Chains A and B, each alone.
Chain A
Amino acid sequence: MTARPPFLAKLTGRAEPDATKRRWRRYPIDPAAWDELCGALGTGLDLVSLWGEPGAVHMALREGDEAVIVTLPCPSGRYPSVGRLHAPAVRLERAVQDLTGLVAEGLPDARPWLDHNRWGVRHPLWSAEPVAADGAPYPFLPVEGEGLHQIPVGPVHAGVIEPGHFRFTVNGEAVVRLEQRLGYAHKGTAALMTGAPLAHAGRLAGRISGDSTVAYALAFALAVEEATGSQVPDRAQWLRGLMAELERLANHLGDIGAIANDAAFAILHAHTGMLREQVLRASHTAFGHRLMMDRIVPGGVAQDLAAEGRAAIAATVGHIRRVFPKLVEVYDETNSLQDRVVGTGVVRPEWVNQFATGGFVGRAAGRAFDARRWAAYAPYHSLTVEPPVFEQGDVNARVWVRIREVEQSLTLIDRMLETLPSDPILAPLGSGPAAGPETEGAALVESFRGDVFFWVRVTAEGRVAACHFRDPSWFQWPLLEAAVEANIVADFPLCNKSFNCAYSGHDG
């Protein structure tokens, strides 16, 4: 954080950050202001997301408590690249180029990203012109040097995981460079949501990344509720929190075991796998679906906590509280396992600050950001979330962030069950705070993986006019490339699992 005067307050004309109503207001700006913002990114001014629509490019920005969206009109289809000054924007601009055809002038890497030349259409979100789906080869970055060879991996991997391609260049055992190629799971979700009624769009939002279905459905719902000026009943807010913490708990438990398993330490995997299964079963008892898909909808929740759900959740929480400390002890005291995870895949603090990296990747390298605390959306406005922060940035630190968050989630779930008010669970959506045919809203929600950003424009008839979502992985994947450098190939699965980046969530 620098001592320079805050940019966003100047932009928004407010001397003091508006802590009570943290809205993602949108401001049109000119190319000079765009350039000035680009130059300041990464110095306490975080790039939250970047996306395009026909004739305009948007950036979501955060600085301290302030958050805005800025819009640069570009009817000519060109705009000054953000990535030329701020590396975290490069992949986002490549995606914008693929989807809308908007050209980022000066973008240092203008290769396609999501478009593999297989869609039969170019720039599907704007001109949508038909083209041959010939699957033109992708130009990987050239690598030259004595004794180097390459290992291509994926998109079909050895394990039961999502599709993506990793191109390793290695010298003996050591990784010299990893280049990722993603986009295999691109389903055109944003295009499918556009024009859809809110209920249908919500179902799609819940399938952007299945492991974060609760977080995505919540982010979409909060954005829609802001756009429509809707009030959500208290009980629904607390049930949403309950689902979000159950999702976090299940994923963290799965991850901790899976990381140990990738270091060939299977017993921890077996035990956390049982705990994870118990959380999913309790979730099913409580909300009728193991992953709680389609339970959060704009206006509230679709299903109340089942009568036997409270007891099922409480029993599971109690059991985890008894068993988990023993597993942590085994993790911490097994030398052969510690030998693999300590000092492996180190992420430096300056990288996470530059990339505004959220979740366990950011918190394991000293960046304390947690959207539950920052945005303080309900029910977290009345709960204490203390993000666990570690400094080492290695696989071990990413495990410890998860361990501490498991413990916190148990406490949060207890509090939520105690507090659960007895309101209705669903309210009709409002008609919107602004006059005019369309209104907008945005939200930042903490998934188990990090902060999910969702922006939506809603028509008066209750349809999605435009939308954008940004998975936390956009700012984590690039750091994985950096973190594995000089590690041995055999440690890549360990590094990769400790990041556990989303493929579908990233590819959209």
Chain B
Amino acid sequence: MANLLLQGLLGPLTEPAPDADPAASAELARLAAEVGKAARRRLGRSLSIREVDAGSCNACELEINALSNSYYDIERFGLRFVASPRHADVLLVTGPVTKNMRQALERTYEATPGPKWVVAAGDCAGGCGLFADSYACVGRVADVLPVDLHIPGCPPTPLALLSGLLGLLEVNQAPGRPLSARQREIGS
């Protein structure tokens, strides 16, 4: 046991942060323009994330869970998963939004205090079409909630998820001020 603890101290596996997703830069620039000063002040440099599985196959959840392992260590960026929408700034939504989950998703959104963002994670959540024609699915998260950012992938890799979420943090900095070097390097 002591050895295990020691091992964790001696050789951290945590990798440097990826850059914010360049593919999402247009979406993020628009967001940056929209986020008011007041909202920016309230959200600060840390974001609390409530994950909502709106009917995914669970592959997205596997990769979202991987964000908490030692390689990605998402909490070093001030990003953390919270147990209740009441504590959340961001809803991270996966799945083709099944009709059986639509109401729960809407209620979760209503229970989240503003200012808040919605991130649609994965191809289903973005409307890839695989489940689109089903009698049981709504189709896209954007058909149910206002989506601020979409992170594609089937499932998105942890790095893709991290890039997208770091972009959100950057949006939240004062305009023209990207993440500080310290923020990027903590833990890496």
B71 and A277 contacting across the interface, CB-CB below 8 Å: yes
- The one of B5, B53, B135 in contact with A185, judged by C-beta atoms closer than 8 angstroms, is B53
Q: Which of B1, B69, B133 contacts A330 (CB 8 A)?
A: B1
Whether A121 lies near B135 (C-beta < 8 A) is yes
Question: Within A222-244, which residues are at the interface with B (CB < 8 Å)?
Answer: none
Do A186 and B1 form a contact, CB below 8 Å, given A192-B131, A273-B70, A276-B69?
Answer: no
- Which residue on A lies nearest to B108, using beta carbons? A156
- Answer whether residue A392 sits at the interface, using C-beta atoms and an 8 A cutoff: no
Give the contacts of A177-206 with B (CB-CB under 8 A): 183-189, 191-192, 203-204
If the complex has contacts A185-B55, A334-B1, A503-B58, are A270 and B101 also in contact, measured as CB distance less than 8 A? no
Q: Mark B57-81, 1 if CB is under 8 A from A, else 0.
A: 1111111111011110000000001
Find out whether the CB atom of B1 lies under 8 angstroms from the CB atom of A163: no
Instruction: Indicate if the CB atoms of B62 and A210 lie closer than 8 Å.
Output: yes
A-B contact count (CB 8 A): 150
Do B69 and A187 touch across chains, with their CB atoms under 8 A apart? no
When chains A and B are docked, how far (Å) is the Cα of A124 from the Cα of B137? 13
Residues of A within 8 A of B131 (CB): 187-189, 192
Q: Is the CB of A119 within 8 A of B135?
A: yes
Q: Write out, one digit per residue, whether chain A residues 117-133 have a CB within 8 A of any chain B CB (1) or not (0).
A: 01111001000100001
Q: Is the CB of A274 within 8 A of B53?
A: no
Nearest CB in chain A to that of B132: its residue: A192
Main secondary structure of the interface of A (DSSP, over half): loop
- Whether a CB of chain A sits under 8 angstroms from the CB of B144 is no
B126 interface hit (Cβ, 8 Å): no
How far apart are A503's CB and chain B's nearest CB, in angstroms? Answer: 7
A293: B residues at CB distance < 8 A: 59, 154
A276–B57 CA distance with the chains assembled, in angstroms? 19
> How near does chain A come to B54, taking the closest CB pair, in angstroms?
7
Q: Counting CB contacts under 8 A, is A213 at the interface? A: yes
Residue numbers in A under 8 Å from B10 (CB-CB): none
Asked whether A139 is an interface residue with its Cβ less than 8 Å from the other chain, the reply is no
Q: Is A159 an interface residue (CB 8 A)?
A: yes
Identify which of residues 98-114 in chain B touch chain A, using a CB-to-CB cut-off of 8 Å. 98-105, 108
Q: Report yes or no: B134 in contact with A163, Cβ–Cβ below 8 A.
A: no
Pairwise interchain contact A502-B58, C-beta atoms closer than 8 A: yes
Residues on the A chain within 8 Å of B57, using CB: 185, 207-210, 213, 504
Q: Are B133 and A192 in contact (CB under 8 A)?
A: yes
Contacts of A271 in B (CB 8 A): 4
Known: A274-B70, A274-B71, A290-B157. A183 touches B100 (CB 8 A): yes
Instruction: Check B59 against A188 for contact (C-beta < 8 Å).
Output: no
Is the CB of A175 closer than 8 A to any CB of chain B?
Answer: no
Partner of B70, one of A183, A203, A270: A270
Within 8 Å of chain B (Cβ to Cβ): is A326?
A: yes
Instruction: Say yes or no: is B23 at the interface (Cβ < 8 Å to chain A).
Output: no
**Considering the chains assembled together, what is the distance between the CA atoms of A271 and B13 in angstroms?**
11
Residues of B within 8 A of A313 (CB): none
Known: A207-B130, A274-B70. A118 touches B99 (CB 8 A): yes
B56 at the interface (CB under 8 A from A): yes
- Once A185-B55, A188-B136, A504-B57 are accepted as A-B contacts, the answer to whether A135 and B103 lie under 8 Å apart by CB is yes
Question: Provided the pairs A187-B55, A273-B69, A293-B59 are in contact, do residues A163 and B101 lie with their beta carbons within 8 angstroms?
Answer: yes
Q: Is there an interface contact between B130 and A184, defined as CB atoms closer than 8 Å?
A: no
B95: interface (CB < 8 Å): yes
User: With A119-B99, A163-B55, A186-B136 known to touch, is A155 a contact of B71 (CB < 8 Å)?
Assistant: no
> Are A207 and B4 in contact, with the CB atoms below 8 A?
no
Partner of A291, one of B59, B69, B102: B59
Residues of B contacting A1 with CB < 8 Å?
none
Q: B152 at interface (Cβ–Cβ under 8 A)?
A: no
Query: Out of B58, B65, B104, B134, which one reaches A184, CB within 8 Å?
Result: B104
A19 close to B (CB within 8 Å): no
Name A206's closest neighbour in chain B (CB-CB): B57
CB atoms of A211 and B66 under 8 A apart: no
For chain A, residues 132 to 164, give those with C-beta under 8 angstroms from any C-beta of chain B. 133, 135, 155-156, 158-163
Interface contact A207-B99, CB-CB below 8 Å: no
Interface residues of B in 141-175 (CB under 8 A from A): 154-155, 157
Known: A184-B55, A188-B136, A192-B133. A155 touches B1 (CB 8 A): no
By a CB distance below 8 angstroms, the chain A residues around B127 are none
Assess whether A116 is interfacial by the CB under 8 Å rule: yes
Given the interface pairs A210-B56, A274-B13, the reply to whether A191 lies near B134 with Cβ below 8 Å is yes
A267 on interface, CB distance cutoff 8 Å: yes
- Of all A-B residue pairs in the complex, the 9 with the closest CB atoms, nearest first, are A210-B59, A158-B83, A188-B136, A188-B134, A273-B69, A210-B57, A118-B99, A207-B57, A210-B58
Give the A-binding residues of B (Cβ under 8 A): 1, 3-5, 8, 13, 51-66, 68-71, 81, 83-85, 95-96, 98-105, 108, 130-131, 133-137, 154-155, 157
**28 A-B pairs in the complex with CB atoms less than 8 angstroms apart:** A118-B100, A118-B103, A119-B135, A120-B99, A135-B103, A156-B85, A158-B83, A158-B84, A160-B61, A163-B55, A183-B100, A185-B56, A185-B95, A186-B136, A187-B55, A187-B98, A187-B131, A188-B134, A192-B133, A208-B57, A209-B57, A210-B155, A211-B59, A211-B62, A267-B5, A267-B8, A273-B68, A502-B58
Given A156-B53, A163-B53, 14 extra CB contacts under 8 A: A156-B104, A160-B64, A160-B65, A162-B56, A163-B101, A185-B56, A187-B96, A187-B131, A188-B135, A210-B58, A211-B59, A270-B69, A277-B70, A293-B154
Residues of A bordering B, CB below 8 Å: 116, 118-121, 124, 128, 133, 135, 155-156, 158-163, 183-189, 191-192, 203-204, 207-211, 213, 254, 267, 270-271, 273-274, 276-277, 280, 290-291, 293, 326-327, 330, 333-334, 502-505
